[in-house]
Amino acid sequence: MGAGQVNPNGALNPGLIYDATPQDYISQLCSMNYTQQQIKTITRSSNTCSNPSSDLNYPSFIVFYTNGTTTKLVQKFQRTVTNVGDRVATYKVKVTAPEGSIVNIYPTTLVFGERFQKRSYTVTISYQGNSSGEVTFGSLIWVEDNGKYAVRSPIVVSPVIKTWSPFV
């Protein structure tokens, strides 16, 4: 899942970026119950699963529910962004929650005093499945005070779809 349409000029000067290291991806594979051999096949190196995590520092959010379940669920995500735009910048969040969901962001303002400074925020999504098994969409957008940058992240609420995989 991507974070939206590609804007070539915006991609050269995005304002904020979400960093992810190779170890972050390995930790995600570990959380998906890949074996050491499968991970070695993918990465071409030996790795340990000392800190498995499914919360990759990625600019999108997806939560799942079991189709037919109407239990209220809550999921939290932690993200860290790096300011690669103007030296001093303030971003405020605008949220469009997926239908039937409540999305809270903390903090709602990110203040940067210099380039390459990092700030973290937490997204809490309260949601419940619906009997029709619909996928619903929303977004959060970090908008710089002067309007130069707007960094959009999609939010998806989806039923779990069971698929067969020889790897899991």
Name which residue leads in pLDDT, 129 or 44: 44
The structure's pTM equals 0.83
Most confident segment among 70-79, 82-91, 128-137: 82-91
Cβ-proximal residues to 84 (8 Å cutoff; 6+ apart), any chain: 13, 14, 15, 16, 17, 115, 116
Listed residue (32, 9, 31, 28) closest to 20, CA to CA:
28
The domains of the chain, with CATH numbers, are: 58-159 (2.60.40.2310)
H helices of the chain, in order, are: 8-12, 22-31, 36-43
Banded pLDDT at 142 (limits 50, 70, 90): very high
